Amino acid sequence: MIYAFSFLLGFCSMVYELLLGQSLSAFLGNTVLRYSVTIGLYMLSMGIGALLAEGRWLKHAAATLLKIEILLTVAGGFSVIFLLILNSVGIPDWLFSVFAHLLIVLIGVLTGFEIPLLIELRGPEVEGSERAVLGVDYLGAFCGTVAFAFVFYPLFGLIPSAFFVALINAFVGVCLYTQRFKVHESGRRSYTTLLWVQAGLFVVLAVLLQNANRVTELFLRYYLGS
């Protein structure tokens, strides 16, 4: 089950990053630069995330992972709309670019954070779990790129894709509940609250996805009017 999570999370994060890279390229131009930088930054911030995830965080692995999923769902699912609005309100390009790259780094760091947590939940003593979790995460990322290039961008469009992927992300978060991970006595109540938040996000995203075309039209009008 942990491997399935790792695969799906690798998938989601890669698609978020590509959606951000493509948004940058759509609003500011120069595809090759945007993609190269997005991918480089993504990998670097994943590394930073992996370095940050230790000690205290690992002790509350289940709760931390859930928090991260909530953050990723929000940051990834609303990223394109956020950038579209930012670009519409007429902030200077460099500031827009800063925000977009911060989002790329944020998602990268959170994703890098996930992997040690997943390894912890799998049980680091299990032979080869480190490599397997990492490998499956990368395979998920590969599938994410294929899905982005052939399905998400040309068929769904940027905004519905972001909703759809965040929906998968929220689903994984909710599924954590089924795993009955050990949660410290002190953190149990907040863990339940987090689960409800994640479930709420799932519903919100499902509704948004249902009305994705209308939502897109709404924000696009705003952009065109600016």
Partner 1 sequence: MADRSGAVRTVLAITVVLSACSLLYELLIAQTLSMLAGNTIVWYSLTVGGYLGAMGLGAVAVGTRAARSSWNTLFIVELLLSVVGACAVLVIQLAHSLYLFFSATPSGGNVLLFFGVSFAMILLVGVLSGIELPLLIQLGNDASEDGKITNRVLGWDYLGALVAGLLFPLALVPFFDLAVIGFGTALVNLSAGTYVLYRFVPHKRRFRLKTAFALAFGGALVFGISQGGRIQQYFLKRYYFHQEAAALGSPVGPLSELPDIERFYSPYQKIDLVHDTSVYEGAILTDAYSTKYAEDPSLPKDWFLFLNGDFQVTSNYEEIYHEWFAHVPIILSGKVPERVLVMGAGDGLLLRELVKHEAIRSIRHVDLDRTLVGLAKDHPMFTAMNRRAFDDPRIQTEFGDAFQVIRRSREKYDAIYLDFPYVMDYNLSKLYSREFFHFVRARLAEGGYAVLDAPAPNLRPDPDPEGNLRLQRGGETDIYYNTIRSAGFESIVPFHTRLEIDNPSAFEALETWPSTPTMEGAASREDLRRALRREWMRQFIDVHASNLEQGFILMWNDDRDPTAHTYVDLGIDLHVLNERRFGLAFPPPFSRSEDIDPFKVNSILRPTLPNRRILSVRKPW
Alpha helices in 29-177 (DSSP H): 31-52, 56-59, 61-77, 79-88, 93-122, 129-147, 158-175
- Interaction of residue 179 with partner 1, rule CB under 8 A: no
Compute, in degrees rounded to 10, the torsion defined by CA atoms 172, 55, 131, 73.
Answer: 20
- Find tokens 């230790």 and name the residue: 54
In this structure, are residues 18 and 4 in contact, taking their beta carbons and an 8 Å threshold?
A: no
| Token pair for 100 | 């977009």
- Interaction of residue 181 with partner 1, rule CB under 8 A: no
CA pair distance 20, 22, nearest whole angstrom: 5
Choices 43-51, 60-68, 176-184, 199-207; region in contact with partner 1 by CB under 8 A: 43-51
In this structure, are residues 82 and 20 in contact, taking their beta carbons and an 8 Å threshold?
A: no
CA pair distance 205, 193, nearest whole angstrom: 18
User: What letter represents residue 24's amino acid?
Assistant: L
Q: Which is nearer to partner 1, 74 or 109 (CB)?
A: 109
Least CB distance to partner 1 at residue 167 (A): 18
Q: Going residue by residue from 91 to 130, which x/- string records binding to partner 1, judged by CB under 8 A?
A: --x----------------------------------x-x
Residues 157-176 that bind partner 1 (CB under 8 A): 157-159
DSSP tag of 126 = S
DSSP tag of 151 = I
Residues 56-75 that bind partner 1 (CB under 8 A): none
Least CB distance to partner 1 at residue 40 (A): 2
- When binding is defined by CB under 8 A, the residue of 2, 8, 9, 14 that contacts partner 1 is 14
- Interaction of residue 153 with partner 1, rule CB under 8 A: yes
- Interaction of residue 28 with partner 1, rule CB under 8 A: yes
Contacts of residue 190, defined as CB under 8 A and 6 or more positions apart, other chains included, come to: 63
CA pair distance 13, 126, nearest whole angstrom: 26
Q: Which is nearer to partner 1, 135 or 187 (CB)?
A: 135
Number of residues that bind partner 1 (CB under 8 A): 61
- When binding is defined by CB under 8 A, the residue of 146, 203, 207, 218 that contacts partner 1 is 146
- When binding is defined by CB under 8 A, the residue of 1, 4, 40, 95 that contacts partner 1 is 40
- Find tokens 């992972």 and name the residue: 65
Least CB distance to partner 1 at residue 194 (A): 26
Contacts with partner 1, residue ranges (CB under 8 A): 14, 18, 22, 25-33, 35-41, 43-48, 50-51, 80, 84, 93, 128, 130-132, 134-139, 141-146, 148-150, 153-159, 213, 216, 220, 223-224
